[in-house]
Amino acid sequence: MVRPMSQRCIQCHRPITADRNTCLFCGGAAERVVDTRTFDCPGCQSEMKKLEIRGTVVDVCIRCRGQFYDQGELNVMLAETRRVTQDSAERTNASPQLSNIDNSISDTHSPRKCPVCGQYMHRRNFARLSGVIVDECFHGTFLDSGELKRIKKFVEAGGETLGDRKRQQEVLLARTERSHASQANDDLTVALLAASIADCIFS
């Protein structure tokens, strides 16, 4: 199967993620670039197959069912779920609830290499609260079997909203801590300066 999902700008030729139609740098339109490469699965090293899932061509491991999404493709897969979740939240004005969602972290695998560049991928808890540890590189995201289903349930429950709130709280806390540390340093500087002046006056 030919993979027509890679994109680049027709003007500056920079790569464009799958969830965009225009270039972030110059505003040029995206053009599809045929990509026939095959990759080894980051999970079990078996050869991955290219399968079309709801209009998006994804690298899927037939052996372990892992999936590798090019940069932006995961957002494309989640776009409809996010839209429905937002519409429901606006209609019902309900608060996000994660009480019925399994967001426990059960990830035990070792770091994995990106199938494109061969470098070790970064690992993060999707949206901070989902419990789904995804493997990410500049080239894309790898999900183990069943993780996309867990992510979708998390999104449907409004988990991304709670994740955004947690991120904002972390940013505010970091700023507060830096401010307190700066004030403490200023106080210490003033005290040392006062002591130094006192020594000069009374010595």
* Same domain? 31 vs 10: yes
* Same domain? 57 vs 134: yes
Is 188 inside any structural domain?
A: no
* Same domain? 8 vs 93: no
pLDDT of residue 170: 65
Q: What is the mean pLDDT of each run of 10 residues along the chain (203 residues)?
A: 59 82 89 78 94 84 93 89 86 71 75 94 91 93 94 88 69 72 72 73 65
* Same domain? 167 vs 67: yes
CA dihedral of 39, 65, 20, 168, whole degrees rounded to 10: -120
pLDDT of residue 2: 35
- Which range marks the domain in which residue 15 is found? 1-36
* Same domain? 60 vs 148: yes
User: Which amino acid is residue 180, in one-letter code?
Assistant: H
Q: Which residues pair with 14 in a beta bridge?
A: none
pLDDT of residue 121: 96
What is the number of structural domains in the chain? 2
pLDDT of residue 134: 95
* Same domain? 77 vs 143: yes
Per DSSP bridges, beta strands 15-16 and 67-70 are unpaired
pLDDT of residue 1: 32
Is 131 inside any structural domain?
A: yes
Per DSSP bridges, beta strands 48-53 and 133-137 are unpaired
In the three-class reduction of DSSP (H, G, I as helix; E, B as strand; rest coil), residue 130 is classed as coil
pLDDT of residue 181: 72
